[in-house]
Chain A
Amino acid sequence: EDQVTQSPEALRLQEGESSSLNCSYTVSGLRGLFWYRQDPGKGPEFLFTLYSAGEEKEKERLKATLTKKESFLHITAPKPEDSATYLCAVRSLVDKLIFGTGTRLQVFP
């Protein structure tokens, strides 16, 4: 069964304290892996797409990487405005988009 698991469920960081969020997946072939940011009560906002193992994408303090079984979202020197829930999703060969339950990140000044 296709599945996406994100860890940790919640993460508290001090401003400037770098860390990584994990997304592990099992799918019947991968068409793409997506990272989203979601603020409370709002729609997910697209961050990155990764298509193949070894691929990396960067945007400001965020960097996403992909292996054959998992993806990491690295946050370098985070700021309080990076506080949000980060969602990982994969699209399988049957074209279904499967979401993880997210990592809730809190960054304190």
Chain B
Amino acid sequence: EAQVTQNPRYLITVTGKKLTVTCSQNMNHEYMSWYRQDPGLGLRQIYYSMNVEVTDKGDVPEGYKVSRKEKRNFPLILESPSPNQTSLYFCASSLNLRGAEAFFGQGTRLTVV
């Protein structure tokens, strides 16, 4: 089954404690991205990757890091989480950028206290 898998689904952590949210896709897609979703603000792109070892900032990259060492995996790293990073996070993948639809993971609800 074609899917994007994120882990964990729920996470509560304390300010400053480094964490990683994993994302994996089994569709051999080139393009992967991370979004955060906040009430009234919609989905905002954090980082994206056009292929292995190629990443770039989205609209709200501050406080986040990513890496793309393999085509299928695109982890999101919060080196020193803060309460304003409490949000619902989604990983997405697309075959390419030429009008292809994006497939989303089930989401990670992160709470930073």
A interface residues with partner B (beta carbon < 8 Å):
31-32, 34, 36, 41-46, 49, 51, 87, 89, 91, 95-97, 99-102
Contacts and interface: CB of A to CB of B under 8 A. Distances in A.
B97 interface: yes
A95 B41 contact: no
Chain B interface bracket (under 10, 10 to 19, 20 to 34, 35 or more): 20 to 34
Contacts of A36: 104
Nearest to B44: A99
Contacts, number: 49
Contact of A31 (B40, B43, B98, B106): B98
B3 to A, nearest CB: 10
28 contacts: A31-B97, A32-B99, A34-B101, A34-B102, A36-B104, A41-B88, A41-B107, A41-B109, A42-B106, A42-B107, A43-B4, A43-B104, A43-B106, A43-B107, A45-B104, A46-B101, A46-B103, A49-B99, A49-B101, A89-B43, A97-B45, A97-B102, A99-B44, A100-B42, A101-B40, A101-B41, A101-B42, A102-B42
A44 B90 contact: yes
A34 B104 CA distance: 13
B99 A96 contact: no
A102 B88 CA distance: 15
Contacts of A45: 104
Nearest to B31: A95
Contacts of A51: 99
Nearest to A99: B43
